[in-house]
Amino acid sequence: MNTYYAANLLIYAGVDIIAVLALNLQFGVSGIVNFSFIVFQAAGAYAAAVLSMPPHTAADYSFQVYFGGYQLPFPIPWIGGALAGGVLAIPVGLVVLRKLRSDYQAIALLVTSIIANTVINNARPFLNGAAGLALVPQPLQDQVDTNTDSYLYLYIALTAVCVGLVWFLAARIVNSPYGRTLRAMREHELAATALGKNPVALKMTMFMVGGAIAGLSGAILVGFLTVWAPSTWLYPETIILFAALIVGGRGNNLGAILGALLVPVGFEEVTRQLIRMNVGPPNVIPALEWVAIGLFILGFLWFRPEGVRPEPRHVFEGSPETELVENVGTA
Amino acid sequence: MSAQPDQRMLVAEDISRHFEGMHAVDGVSLAVPRGKITGLIGPNGAGKSTFMAVVAGTLPASSGTIRFEGEDITRLPTYTRARRGLVRTFQLPSEFARLTVLENLLVAAPHHRGDSLFGALMGKRYWLKDEETLVDEARGLLKRFGMSAKESDYAGLMSGGQKRLLEIMRALMLHPRCLLLDEPMSGVHPRVVEQIQYYLQSLRADGLTILMVEHELHLVEQLCDSVFVMAQGKLIGSGTMASLRRQREIVDAYLVG
């Protein structure tokens, strides 16, 4: 395993962890079935790309067309990516989250994902259509040589800082009284409303927070890959993230991290190894990967719906139960 | 109504609620007196629950006005009404199943510093004091309702009666001025019925105003200071249970409806 491959794996792991933590805030904690999650990651990636690229009239870039091209220095593209995800959540949330019942919300969001992909795929002048954007500048590439191992380490470190930051924010939200209100809304929205909680405001907030985090994950990814196209954010990518969260444990940040490592990262690795071993016809393994992910989700929903790391039960200090030491933690 | 204006906590004026031509509630006017338990009775399908939902804001009124403490609240959303002290419970169990009993109560607490995105991001030190005060308050309620031992159990694992109690306690965490109870004793063991009855009376003694839908007439007779009767979406009578029993058409509506 060479350094580049290891770095590739670690950066993907970081991006997936960030994404699944955001999905946990939305789906695991708040109960929003955001089937358009990947759109927000894509928005972040595109935003980071056009913020860091030169205008499409520039010499090396004239083979593609896109708006913007601001050549802004790092970290502005990453911040811009996060902002783009958060801002995109406003119109989508206002359309989907206000009036629709939650099962219809899921369908509407899935359709949103498909529409967004189709539009970007076909509206070429906007973001270069199906061919996508290429030659996206890497962070700090005018200060350091990006073709070295040390740049890979730097990129891993930057990703790790973002993972740490997102983890910190997510933990504060999940473990707070606000997180408790979100979980209450997930359990019984009407009852939460009757207790003075505004469900639309709560959902919109989590949609924007999750959207911003998703946008950041996209920005990190595009800075590493230097390319971004509609084929990288088809709606099944969202399903993989849902699988990760269901396997890891909905409502549990540690579960989200574990799921991100097991499903997107773990599956990619296993698939890659199998392809190298030349098992069967060339396209069988990637196809079987989807079958396996589907079975994985079904298996967990059937046998262990709470995931590997279930949402913890919150026992308060001084509870009668804490005095019976043997019983603590057995639910 | 003969009550003094300041004695009328909640006033419904000519409330209607139509569902595609069906008049579930049809021009109901009534006033709920302060500090009393008022009953709302009627046969199945009379529109009682719909009326309660309109008062609580869960369903919008097709026409009419609702005043709470003299203010027009007809256009306010449910959560704003709840924050102002008009709190409803549900006919069906509505516990937050995967939250513990104590957490169910804490969720309901208003004005918690940690109950906003800003408060959450500020961290535990910012809201811990509020949390401790509210845990004490919630434990006080659990003790009063005899459920202290259950505080760390998931609410979804409670019995039907315990869920009813939990729901009343949860509403009380909001410091309501008026409780709207939709059949608080349906499907509950007789012993728990007695318990709930006792708690409701003690809440009235504390000055709380209650409007409740109930089917068991003997309970209504024991608990309610006055009663409104609905049938087919309309208000057909009011008074004490004893006076209502003497009115021929009301007895008919109940037996026939």
Return the structure tokens found at B203. 């809440």
Best residue in B86, B89, B103 to probe A by mutation, most A CBs within 10 Å? B103
> What's the pLDDT tens digit per position in B50-81?
999 999 999 999 999 999 999 999 999 999 99
Tell me: the pLDDT tens digits for B15-39? 999 988 888 999 999 999 999 999 9
Share of residues in chain A with pLDDT > 70 (%): 96
Dihedral sign from CA coordinates of B116, B121, B123, B126: negative
Q: Are B37 and B67 in contact (CB under 8 A)?
A: no
Query: B68 forms bridges with which residues in the sheet?
Result: B10, B71
Instruction: State pLDDT tens for residues A114-145.
Output: 999 999 999 988 999 999 999 999 999 988 89
Please name the member of B77, B115, B151 whose beta carbon is closest to the beta carbon of A181. Answer: B115
Return the structure tokens found at B5: 């204006």
- Decide if pLDDT at A3 tops 50: yes
In a domain, B213, yes or no: yes
The sign one gets for the Cα dihedral B148, B151, B153, B157 is: positive
Of residues B257 and A262, the one with the higher pLDDT is: A262
CATH number at residue B84: 3.40.50.300
User: How close A32 gets to chain B, by Cα (Å)?
Assistant: 16
B256, pLDDT greater than 90:
no
Q: Is the per-residue pLDDT at B5 higher than 80?
A: no
- What single letter denotes the amino acid at residue B221? E
pLDDT at residue B98 is higher than 80: yes
Look at B96 and A197 and tell me if their CB atoms are within 8 Å.
no
How many angstroms away from the CA of B71 is the closest CA of chain A?
A: 18
pLDDT of A331 over the 80 cut:
no
CA-based torsion, A308, A313, A315, A321: positive or negative: negative
Per the structure block, which two tokens stand in for A169? 């924010």
Maximal C-alpha separation, chain B? 64
Strand B71-72 vs strand B63-68: parallel, antiparallel, or unpaired?
antiparallel
- Residue A169: C-alpha distances to residues A131, A213, A238 (Å): 36, 10, 22
**Beta-carbon separation of B82 and A192 below 8 A:** no
**Residue B231 bridge partners (DSSP):** B234
Residue in B99, B120, B174 closest to A173 by CB = B120
Question: CA–CA separation, A285 vs B205, rounded Å?
Answer: 72
Residue written as token pair 């708690």: B199
Number of domains making up chain B: 2
Q: What band does A296 get if pLDDT is binned at 50, 70 and 90?
A: confident
The pLDDT score that the predictor gives to residue B103 is 97
Say what the pLDDT of residue B187 is. 81
* Residue B169: per-residue pLDDT: 95
Average pLDDT over residues B104-113: 95
Domain that holds residue B123: 96-157
For residue A40, what pLDDT is reported?
Answer: 98
Strands (E), chain A: none
Contact partners, residue B239, CB within 8 Å, separation at least 6: B226, B227
In this prediction, residue A304 carries a pLDDT of 92
The DSSP bridge pattern shows strands B8-19 and B71-72 to be: unpaired
Q: Which residue of A has its CA nearest to B142?
A: A319
Two structure tokens written together for B213? 């839908």
B89 and B184 in a single domain? The answer is yes
What is the distance of C-alpha A258 from the center of its chain? 14
Residues B146 and B250 reside in one and the same domain: no
Residue B227 lies in a domain: yes
Give yes or no: residues B88 and B204 share one domain.
Answer: yes
Residue B167 counted as domain residue: no
- Whether residue B146 sits in one domain with residue B122: yes
Asked if B208 and B102 sit in the same domain, the reply is no
In the predicted model, is pLDDT for residue A29 greater than 80? Answer: yes
pLDDT for the residue numbered B255: 55
Model pLDDT for residues B173-221, shown as the tens digit of each residue: 999 999 999 999 888 888 889 989 999 999 999 999 999 999 888 899 9
Minimal CA separation from B163 to chain A, in Å = 13
What integer pLDDT is reported at residue B124 of this predicted model? 95
Candidate from B95, B154, B170 with C-beta closest to A313: B154
Is B227 found in the same domain as B122?
Answer: no
Residue of B nearest to A165 (CA): B121
Q: Are residues B62 and B186 in the same domain?
A: yes
What is the residue whose two structure tokens read 């520039």? A58
Decide if B96 and A176 are in contact by the 8 Å CB cutoff. no
* Cβ-defined contact of B98 to A311 (cutoff 8 Å): yes
Residue A320: which of B104, B148, B154 has the nearest Cβ? B148
Question: Which of A177, A178, A197 minimises the CB distance to B79?
Answer: A197
Tell whether B148 is covered by a domain.
yes
For the residues A323-328, what does the mean pLDDT come to? 46
Cβ of B56 within 8 Å of Cβ of A194? The answer is yes
In the predicted structure, residue A53 carries a pLDDT above the cut 90:
yes
Same domain, B105 and B232: no
| The pLDDT of residue A1 | 55
Nearest chain B CA: its distance from A181 CA (Å): 6
pLDDT in tens, A170-189: 999 999 999 999 999 999 99
For residue B12, tell me if it sits in a domain. Answer: yes
Residue in chain A lying closest to B149 (CA): A320
Residue A305: both structure tokens together:
């719906």
Facing residues of B212 across strands? B39, B181
Q: Which residue of A has its CA nearest to B168?
A: A195
Q: Is residue B107 part of a domain?
A: yes
Q: At A217, is the secondary structure helix, strand, or coil?
A: helix
Check residue A280 and give its pLDDT: 74
pLDDT band at A330 (very low <50, low <70, confident <90, very high): very low
Place of tokens 């290891």: A6
**Average confidence (pLDDT) over B136-141:** 96
Q: How far apart are CA A198 and CA A16, in angstroms?
A: 31
Structure confidence at residue A21 as a pLDDT band (50, 70, 90): very high
Decide: helix, strand or coil at residue B237.
Answer: strand
Q: What is the CA radius of gyration of chain A?
A: 21
The residue with tokens 């609620």 is B17
Same domain, B37 and B116: no
CB-based contact A196 B97, cutoff 8 Å: no
B32 pairs with which residues across the strands? Answer: B10
Residue B47 lies in a domain: yes
For residues A95-111, give the mean pLDDT: 92
Q: How far is CA B43 from CA B32, B47, B80, B224, B237, in A?
A: 21, 9, 31, 18, 13
Query: What pLDDT shows up at residue B21?
Result: 81
Q: Is the CB of residue A246 less than 8 Å from the CB of residue A259? A: yes
Q: Are B173 and B142 in contact (CB under 8 A)?
A: no
Same domain, yes or no, for B195 and B76? Answer: yes
Residue A227 or B253, more confident: A227
Do residues B107 and B184 both lie within one domain?
no
Asked whether residue B226 falls in the same domain as residue B113, the answer is no
> Does residue B170 belong to any structural domain of this protein?
no
> How does A287-326 read in b/e, with b if 16+ C-beta sit within 10 Å?
eebeebbeebbeebeeeeebbbbbbebbbbeebebeeeee
